[in-house]
Chain A
Amino acid sequence: MTKEKMLAKSHFRKNKGSSIGIFCLMLLASMLLSLAMILFTDTYPTAAKEAERLDGGDGMMYVSSETLKVDDAYLSDLLLGAEKYELEKALYYPLLSLPFGSSEMDNSVKVCRMGSMMEKTMARTEIAEEDASINGDYIYLPYQFKTSGGMHVGDDYHISISGENYDLKVKGFLNTVYGGCNNSGLYEICVSDEVYEKMLSKIGVAGESSFVVFELQDDVKMGEFRIRVLNQLKTDDPLANVSLQPVSMYLGSRTFMSLIIAGSFLAVTMLVVIVIILMIVNSISNYVKENMKTIGALKAIGYTSRNIKGSVLMMFLTLALIASVIGIAVSYLLAPTISSLVIAQMGVPYSVSFSLIATIVAFATVVLLTVLVTLLSLRKIKKIEPIVALREGVESHNFKANRIKLDKSVFGLDASLSLKTMLHNKRQNIITFFVAGFMVFICVIALLMFENFNRNPNLSLMIPEICDGVVTFDKDTWEEGFEFLSSQKGVENIRRYREDSIYVGQEDSLYLMVYEDPTQKSNKDVCYKGRLAQHENEVNVSGKFAKQNGYKIGDEITLNLGGREYTYLITGFIQSLNNDGHEAIMSEAAAAHILDLESMPTSFLFDTETDEQIDPILDACEEKFGEKMVVRMNMVKSIEASMITFKGISTLMLVTMCLISALVILLVLFLLIRSLVFSKRKDYGIYKAIGYTSKSLILQTAASFMPTIILSVILFSVVSYFIANPYMQFIMISFGLMKCTFAIPIPGIVIVGFAMILLSFAFAVLQARRVRKIEPYQMLIAE
């Protein structure tokens, strides 16, 4: 072992440059792998872990009723099958505009009293951050307002509810199970007792609503329980505003965006790791080639192939072990920053903890791959005869064609010699071709994310229908409301919309979205397979639900609500990221079989000529109809607020991926050109001796990689343009996003392509400058 150790040290000393290059690649690979794994195994499950820690139970129900008296006596009968439950009285606003960063977020809001909030034993609310010295009219906001909205304790906070203005100060941020994220459909905020009383006095006859967190007995099925309880509530008060959702639905809605981000990160990381592994393989193989003479000398003096293999393996294994440990350590240093962006949308306090799986996967992947690749590359050592090795594998025959004849070439002398070098280094150029190509693809994916999450947010991915504004009128006012809305200047493309929960048998339910005519929707991409429902017997169901229950397109499904049922034909699957993937779409004509549409609140989705027209239109509707208009929403502002995090992440992703691409290309060119200069050092010496300048040889060497890089950039830009969407879909499909057609910015690809070519040339010139160190005299006397 001492022999191998001694030789390993000698190998390292002799090959410091390439060893350091390979070390950097190993470090980068282990760091990225570890980071991606941390996101999946530690960061992403945070919301679920927090829900369990805060005793979130199995689900939450709220009831807002003018007639029902929801108390323990009522609940003990209603919640039959619940192991335990806890009732909390709080104010409920179906839709409230809350300042969020520099924009506004429209969402359902639960307003709690400070005292009662802290007494809960189920779905406990924790203060994630506060300034206890703030008194007077204060407010505690969900933690997401800090992580995603960029708000701080001590900020002034102004909200307006039904014309009443509240000037508050942010006292702190809350960590809650059910009301922490806009995607979950509910915000939980807490105000001082004085503010609460003032709000209560203005809320109207319904008064406080009831929020019940429950835990089911082991043998009770959530689906059955939910349908029974909701039916009972509808029976007891048909006008009650009720909702009952399992905790999984809240968690799914809360985390799906983080999952998309983590997935995208993983998608890109996988590509980078593939490139790096490719480079490690090539570098180790080059190492054996470059050290052929040393191997020959060692064999000549009596070292066995086993000794030599052992020493090379020991060197690379040591490099891999150290690089992995440092890479993993660096990943834990970077993880808080990356993770904070990934979970910003969840709004959950999070600090990185040690992930054994992430560490083992990253460590084992790099170390085992290094061992495997080294052993495979070293197989040839056994066959190398000492004398052949000492001659560095001199060929006695050469049947290669003499390509690019200097007297017939259409190119100049330097260009012709560059092309000769390129053709002579086929393997290096093939590797460069794929590395540059993969990097182009990675940048295209990052560009795609930037374009679709930042520059022009691709809303069709996240919401079933795209519009500029929404107004919802009660059952008695919607016809008049529609007339009024239609008469407003700038309003266009009004679509009638209703929603409710419907049931499949006695166990399962679907969130039903009813459009006057679904085929006239703006977002037709929501139907990823089959076609949108159109006729009175047709329905679309979400792909996840269909998969869980074995439904296929063309199958019939019987839906029911309030004693009415109808059998529909499934004409297509829709993608849904909300409501736990249990959603359905149908036309009004179809919904009329089971719903009494005329007695439901009716929404109108509309577009406007300019974004500035939205608020005045909503104000005019509110002024005209007052409390009869139950919902108003400026979608542009809401989306802008919820996109803040994504904009940051997509920008970070673009910058990071461009930097990683630049770094990988730099390392790859460093290793390839170093190896090229080493293997051609004799030729460079000859060229210099007969009168070639270093400048000319540097340009020749750098330029010899450029045709490959340019070809790769052009080809992979075109290929990436066509495969970026299928690739993203392949990744996203496992996250429930069944169809995603992202916009791919062609000018962005052109800019990235040019940048990559110029950067590669600059790097290649920098690396090729080592040619300057070759002195013809030294080279000649070295023989």
Chain B
Amino acid sequence: MNEIIKTQKLCKTFSNGGVQQHVLRNIDLSIYEGDFTVIMGASGAGKSTLLYALSGMDKPTLGEVTFAGKNITKGTPDDLAVFRRKNCGFVFQQTYLVDSMSVLDNVLAAALLIEKNKKTAGAKAREVLKSVDIDENLWNKFPTQLSGGEAQRVGIARALINEPKLVFADEPTGALNSTTGKDVLDVLTKANDNGQSIVMVTHDITSARRGNRILYVKDGEIAGECDLGKYVSGDKERHLKLRDFLGGMGW
């Protein structure tokens, strides 16, 4: 499989009042095209920090991240913004939709960065919204008028609209109940089935089962890795394998 992201000696250190906290320590990692990679770990292990460092949202303290062979750690903030708009989609736990814009405009705000033709962008946005089961009657509503699950699905639509090479999802079901959480995971799984690469951070074992590759982060290092294979709904062995892996990691 093709490497889409590769890190070398990736370090991230936060300094707070003179006290240095090493959150990521010399991580060498590859993310492959078409994978549904799940990053797990205990709270404060550094999984979200790793996700944002991989996506160019945050700059590592040391080491480098290459995306499709290109070093992205040396870019300016604006270079990274352009990189993100072309290559990445983001799904956040808190959804982070722009409250002052309608559902459709939230998706279009991302689409129009790439597709300059408004008609084409509009049609595409509607299509993506339909694909994540957002009814047409919601398109002109504002994010504060949506349920948590609806808002998260709009967030996924926004992340997918530009058909990015990679979608980063940070605890996408963290703020949802189990039913709506499952809907969101279904959308992500469907995207992955369609060839979309996904990197997801979660501490929820049910969500993690959707991935084919599980990375376990402990004290800022990749402590272990598990290959689950392609997700199949209702596969009990898969669940046991993951449970054993996590057990071995001290989960």
Residues in B with CB closer than 8 Å to A682 are 96
**A406-B109, A406-B112 in contact; A683/B99 too (CB < 8 A)?**
yes
Q: Give Cα distance in the complex from A61 to B104, angstroms.
A: 88
Residues in B with CB closer than 8 Å to A692 are 81, 85, 113
- B66 within 8 A of partner (CB): no
Residues in A with CB closer than 8 Å to B48 are 781
* Docked-complex contact B118 and A689, CB < 8 angstroms: no
**A420-B100, A682-B96, A691-B81 in contact; A398/B109 too (CB < 8 A)?**
no
Query: Out of A413, A683, A780, which one reaches B98, CB within 8 Å?
Result: A683
At the interface with chain B, which of A202-210, A331-339, A389-397, A578-586?
Answer: A389-397
Q: Give Cα distance in the complex from A772 to B58, angstroms.
A: 14
Residues in A with CB closer than 8 Å to B100 are 420-421, 424, 683
- A564 within 8 A of partner (CB): no
* Docked-complex contact A689 and B90, CB < 8 angstroms: yes
Q: What 1/0 flags go to B87-112 for Cβ under 8 Å of A?
A: 01010101011111110110011101
* Docked-complex contact A398 and B144, CB < 8 angstroms: yes
* Docked-complex contact B158 and A402, CB < 8 angstroms: no
* Docked-complex contact B96 and A686, CB < 8 angstroms: yes
**A397-B145, A405-B104 in contact; A776/B113 too (CB < 8 A)?**
no
* Docked-complex contact B108 and A407, CB < 8 angstroms: yes
Q: Give Cα distance in the complex from A610 to B147, angstroms.
A: 83
Q: Give Cα distance in the complex from A424 to B99, angstroms.
A: 10
B55 smallest CB distance to A (angstroms):
9
- A694 within 8 A of partner (CB): yes
Query: Out of B58, B85, B105, which one reaches A406, CB within 8 Å?
Result: B105
Q: Give Cα distance in the complex from A417 to B109, angstroms.
A: 8
Q: Give Cα distance in the complex from A339 to B249, angstroms.
A: 82
* Docked-complex contact A407 and B122, CB < 8 angstroms: yes
Closest residue on chain A to residue B102 by CB atoms? A402
Residues in B with CB closer than 8 Å to A688 are 77, 81
A734 smallest CB distance to B (angstroms):
49
Query: Which residues of A685-707 have CB atoms within 8 Å of chain B's CB atoms?
Result: 685-695
- A506 within 8 A of partner (CB): no
* Docked-complex contact A397 and B98, CB < 8 angstroms: no
* Docked-complex contact A691 and B78, CB < 8 angstroms: no
- B86 within 8 A of partner (CB): yes
Q: Give Cα distance in the complex from A417 to B81, angstroms.
A: 17
**A406-B105, A406-B109, A407-B108 in contact; A693/B140 too (CB < 8 A)?**
no
Q: Give Cα distance in the complex from A638 to B77, angstroms.
A: 67
- A383 within 8 A of partner (CB): no
- A218 within 8 A of partner (CB): no
Residues in A with CB closer than 8 Å to B24 are none
A550 smallest CB distance to B (angstroms):
64
* Docked-complex contact A694 and B142, CB < 8 angstroms: no
Query: Which residues of B100-137 have CB atoms within 8 Å of chain A's CB atoms?
Result: 100-102, 104-105, 108-110, 112-113, 118-119, 121-122, 125
Residues in B with CB closer than 8 Å to A547 are none
Q: Give Cα distance in the complex from A683 to B99, angstroms.
A: 8
Residues in A with CB closer than 8 Å to B104 are 402, 405-407
Residues in A with CB closer than 8 Å to B108 are 406-407
**A396-B144, A406-B112 in contact; A780/B102 too (CB < 8 A)?**
no
B218 smallest CB distance to A (angstroms):
20
* Docked-complex contact B144 and A405, CB < 8 angstroms: no
Query: Out of A397, A413, A689, A694, which one reaches B144, CB within 8 Å?
Result: A397
- B45 within 8 A of partner (CB): no
* Docked-complex contact A691 and B118, CB < 8 angstroms: no
Query: Out of B78, B94, B109, B145, which one reaches A694, CB within 8 Å?
Result: B78
Query: Which residues of B142-199 have CB atoms within 8 Å of chain A's CB atoms?
Result: 142, 144-145, 158, 170
- B52 within 8 A of partner (CB): yes
Interface centre among A402, A406, A683 (most CB of B within 10 A): A406
- B205 within 8 A of partner (CB): no
- A13 within 8 A of partner (CB): no
- A303 within 8 A of partner (CB): no
* Docked-complex contact B118 and A406, CB < 8 angstroms: yes
- A777 within 8 A of partner (CB): yes
Residues in B with CB closer than 8 Å to A776 are 57
Q: Give Cα distance in the complex from A405 to B104, angstroms.
A: 9
Q: Give Cα distance in the complex from A780 to B98, angstroms.
A: 13
Chain A interface (Cβ within 8 Å of chain B)?
A: 394-398, 400, 402, 405-409, 413, 417, 420-421, 424, 682-683, 685-695, 772, 775-777, 780-781, 783
Known: A402-B102, A691-B81. 4 other contacts (CB 8 A): A402-B140, A406-B109, A408-B118, A781-B48
Chain B interface (Cβ within 8 Å of chain A)?
A: 48, 52, 57-58, 77-78, 81-82, 84-86, 88, 90, 92, 94, 96-102, 104-105, 108-110, 112-113, 118-119, 121-122, 125, 140, 142, 144-145, 158, 170
4 nearest A-B pairs in the assembled complex, by CB-CB distance: A691-B85, A407-B122, A402-B102, A777-B58
